Amino acid sequence: MSATGDAATPAPSGGAPTVRGRRELAYAVLLCLAGAGLAVWAATRTWAVEVTARGGLPPIRQDRSGAQLLPWLSALALVELAGGGAVLATRGRVRRLLGVLLALLGLAVAAGGGYGLTAGFVGELSRQWPALCLLGGLLAAAGGGLAAWRGDRWPAMGARYERRPRPEPTPDGRPAAQRSTRETWDALDRGEDPTVS
């Protein structure tokens, strides 16, 4: 099989991660982060303005954001935002389960935006912010759905982030890191590799 064909197929277990897998991982994370970020931002904008007349006094104007009208909306969007970053730190089945959770959260955020478009809140309503919240939820749900569908095939974080076993002591009982420079040179003269723990 050609080299280009190998890049498009999933890598066998223990093999190098594929370019396609990295690209899909980046798309999923960007969709989740961009969608959740858009939803958080749109939820903090003014969705309704209530003006109360007071006779001869100036009217009272009260601005209400999406987060005030639907308090759970911004909370779900923030969880979605954190979960988008967590896609990078997980792998295998855990990543797929996280993708399912992110897709459900994104749909819930989109439902909140849709409710904001159709609800009869008191006062003058602004429809663009609920619409952006709806769009952000759908983008985040798409990223979560991609992670749920293909997440177990994507590469995990590098081995430098994984816990390494403690180095075994050298024949004299001390770790290689505790050898002096002279002892290291003596080990080289004997044919030993002083870098091997």
pLDDT of residue 178: 61
Q: Where in the chain is the domain with CATH 1.20.140?
A: 17-157
The architecture CATH gives domain 17-157: Up-down Bundle (1.20)
CB atoms within 10 A of CB 168: 9
- pTM above the 0.75 mark? no
Sign of dihedral through CA atoms 125, 129, 133, 139? positive
Eight-class DSSP state of 150: H
Q: Is 177 exposed, middle or buried (0-12, 13-18, 19+ CB in 10 A)?
A: exposed
pLDDT category of residue 78 using cuts at 50, 70 and 90: very high
The tens digit of pLDDT for each residue in 126-162 reads: 889 999 999 999 999 999 999 999 888 887 765 445 5
